[in-house]
Copies of this chain bind each other. A is one copy, B any other.
């Protein structure tokens, strides 16, 4: 695969490519009769459904003349190239070459195949060709009684690491999203407890008052104390959990798919329960969430542009960059297939 690693020379960009991992390729409902083109870790893939309706993922390049297979059609569970009609089964083997009479080498022709499966409403792909994964994809939390689930997907122009750090960062919310969530002026000093285990790092915010922005006011007009966790789980999952009193519970799981070094696709599954009906909360929160998201996307794009403009990132960090460095550590170890880091704990105070 041609990979623009050169931009990362000298480790100047926070680019980690964790292969041998499951990533979301699309929502299960997006993959129907037409093949679908998706790129993961800079590898163009074609997704289609075989005879058993199970998803299959092949390299998106016909073995014959390199036409993208995603331009073709699915016919009886086989993928047919749009250029000369070569047909492939779910394992990537070419099972038909139109025009050819008597073909001894028939089963030699093939394109690389990637493990694929439907799970929790997404099509997941394992990013190692012609290899069997030893474990399955991350299991999404299920919606219990009284919960509503909303799913959203969007692509940002940033590294996987910058997208993950942004998704789990507290201080920027008071500035980039001023007034929507935090940033109304009043701050409190609270404790933060960070715990890193083999495949994840989690921050617990202890004693945080209800955020003063629009979102908090809608959910809990009378204030209260929040229980708040931010979690990163390998290879690319960001999870934010809020409890506000006994009634309100929010669990936002963002499955990140590295499209290439500077593009990341986010699949967010938002589970919530409040004292209001789900449809009403959706109605009130959705425009605010859209605004928050577009602010993040614009900033991530400008941040990446600036780093590229200067030939690399020149970051400096403080204690309140709570999870960014830990996420980077876990990603780099996973990229190198290293043994998991030993457990680790940190406690400190910050203003929110």
Contact = CB atoms under 8 A, between A and B. Distances in A.
Interface of A: 1-2, 44, 60-61, 63-68, 71, 80-85, 97-101, 103, 109, 162, 169-172, 174-176, 187, 189, 299, 302-303, 305-307, 309-311, 313-321, 348-352
A161 to B, nearest CB: 11
A81 B175 CA distance: 8
B316 A64 contact: yes
Contact of A303 (B65, B103, B174): B65
Copies of this chain per assembly: 3
B103 A318 contact: yes
B101 A350 contact: yes
A298 to B, nearest CB: 9
B61 A170 contact: no
Contacts of A310: 1-2, 61, 66
17 contacts: A2-B311, A44-B309, A66-B303, A67-B299, A68-B302, A82-B175, A83-B172, A83-B299, A83-B303, A84-B169, A85-B172, A99-B170, A100-B319, A101-B189, A101-B348, A101-B350, A103-B318
Contacts of A100: 318-320, 350-351
A109 B350 contact: no
A296 to B, nearest CB: 10
Contacts of A63: 314, 316
A321 B109 CA distance: 15
